[in-house]
Structure 1
Amino acid sequence: MYLYLKYISILFKSQAQYRLSFWLLTVGQALTPLTVLAGLYFMFAQFGQVKGWTFYEAALCYAVIGLSYALSETFARGFDMFSSLVGSGDFDRLLVRPRSTILQVLGSKFEFARLGRMLQSLIVLFWSLSKLPIELTFPKLFTLMLMIVCGVLIFSGLFVATASLSFWTIQGIEVANVFTDGGREMAKYPLSIYEKWVTNFFTYVIPLGCVNYLPLLYVLGRTDGHQLRYMLSPLAGVVFILPCLLLWHIGVRHYRSTGS
């Protein structure tokens, strides 16, 4: 953990050297997702409700996923850029160091400007909660925290799985963005508005629905059945990241140097 924090400190100092550029990037990252929120607002302004969901309920869903993705993109960005290490042969240097390759790749890249997205998502989160008739009990606050943390695990798992493919393909596969960027955009809306096969895929294969839709039903008081099942559904994120890490270790064992 000390080494990981050292990585964070070094990269933050390097990115903050040009302060104006850093803060402009941070502000830009905070403002860019507002176009999606604006689209969400105008859609609900036109139709009122979408399959029983109001604007503020959808905004809460948007904020949870936006916050999870921003945190994952900030601290797991090294995996998103990993294919360049394999292609250049620089991954060899990581293998000879007496530390975990996962830790070293995590520490190779941090996008602190992405924290602007996190701030924007936090503002939308508190704003939507203030507009909804929700009694924020401790179990509901705990569920919200679990949604965000396990959302980070799912997106980080997707980054790890995508990076692992580089051991066999050398270059990153663009189609993987369907599940990272595409999954993020899809999960900003309640899953019940999609076709059943989409709902099933993003519940049982890539369990984004387990960190936004199902626990959100509990937070909003719309559960049908035992509440504990909805509260603990975000733990699917822990289950999801395990095979992603296993795929990484398999890839490392099968890695062949470029010889450069």
Structure 2
Amino acid sequence: MSLYFRYLNIQLKSQLQYRASFLLLSIGQFFIPFMVFGGLYFMFERFGQLEGWSFFEVTLCFAVIHLSFSLSECFARGFDAFSSLVASGDFDRLLVRPRGTVVQVLGSKFEFTRIGRLLQSTIVLIWSIANLPQVWSFPKAITLFFMVFNGVMIFTGIFILAATFCFWTIQAIEIANVFTDGGREMAQYPLTIYEKWVTRFFTFIVPFGCVTYLPLMYLLDKEEGSWVTGMLVPFGGLLFLLPCLLVWRIGVRHYRSTGS
């Protein structure tokens, strides 16, 4: 972790060398998600509720998933941009260093301009909680924290899987965007509005349901929710991340050097 934070410090200093560009990109990242949020707001203005879910209940779901995605995109960007390391042969340099490849790839790229998205998601989260008094308790605050943590683990795991395919295909496959960008758009709404097979897939295979829907049932005192579900389900992200790391190790073993 000491090495990781050194990578973090170096990348931050390098990006702040162009402060105007950094500031403008951060502002842009702040306003872009508002377009999506605006669509959500006007939908509730027109229809009032969504399958029994109120506006602030859905915005809490929206804030958690966008906050998770922004954190993962900021700190796990190295895996999202991993194809460039393979194509250029720079991954060979990582292999001969006396540190694990996971830490080195994580430290190869950070997107600090995503602070704009983080701020936007945090504002929506605070606004939602302020209008949902049933969420105001310490156990539920802990659950909310693990929901975000769980989401970061899931998105990071998807980035790792997409990067692993680069060992065979050189370029990252676009299907990964179905589970990153598509997963973010899908999971910003409660899973009950989708078909059952979609709900089951995104609960037991790619466990976005562990990020939002199942813990939300506990946070919002829904009939199906319980404190056991709320406190234990958010750890599903770790159960998803561990196999992704195992697949990564298999990919590294099958990597063929560029010979450069």
TM-score (norm 1): 0.98
Correspondences of 1:3-82 after superposition (within 5 Å): 3-82=3-82
Distance in 1 (alpha carbons) for counterparts of 2:177 and 2:214: 24
Aligned to 1:130: 130
Percent of aligned pairs sharing the same letter:
64
Aligned to 1:178: 178
Correspondences of 1:65-104 after superposition (within 5 Å): 65-104=65-104
After superposition, the Cα gap between the structure-2 partners of 1:236 and 1:122, relative to the gap in structure 1 and judged at 3 Å, is same
Aligned to 2:105: 105
Deviation at 1:18, TM superposition (A): 1.1
Distance in 1 (alpha carbons) for counterparts of 2:88 and 2:135: 54
Deviation at 1:259, TM superposition (A): 2.0
Does 1:241 pair with 2:247?
A: no
Deviation at 1:226, TM superposition (A): 4.1
Distance in 1 (alpha carbons) for counterparts of 2:220 and 2:128: 12
8 A contact 2:65–2:212 mirrored in 1: yes
**Secondary structure at the counterpart of residue 157 of structure 1:** helix
Can you list the C-alpha shifts for 1:117-138, whole angstroms capped at 9, x where unaligned? 0111000000011112325111
Distance in 1 (alpha carbons) for counterparts of 2:2 and 2:227: 39
Can you list the C-alpha shifts for 1:124-179, whole angstroms capped at 9, x where unaligned? 00001111232511110000001001110000000001100111111110111101
Deviation at 1:227, TM superposition (A): 2.8
Deviation at 1:88, TM superposition (A): 1.3
8 A contact 2:135–2:220 mirrored in 1: no
After superposition, the Cα gap between the structure-2 partners of 1:155 and 1:4, relative to the gap in structure 1 and judged at 3 Å, is same
Deviation at 1:89, TM superposition (A): 1.0
Gaps of 5+ in 2: none
TM-score (norm 2): 0.98
Distance in 2 (alpha carbons) for counterparts of 1:252 and 1:135: 44
Does 1:251 pair with 2:258?
A: no
* Number of residue pairs aligned between Structure 1 and Structure 2: 260
Aligned to 1:202: 202
Q: Following TM superposition, where does structure 1 have runs of at least 4 consecutive aligned residues deviating by more than 4 angstroms? A: none
Gaps of 5+ in 1: none
Aligned to 1:220: 220
Deviation at 1:224, TM superposition (A): 2.1
Distance in 2 (alpha carbons) for counterparts of 1:3 and 1:227: 38
Distance in 1 (alpha carbons) for counterparts of 2:135 and 2:220: 9
- 2:202 maps to amino acid: F
8 A contact 1:223–1:230 mirrored in 2: no
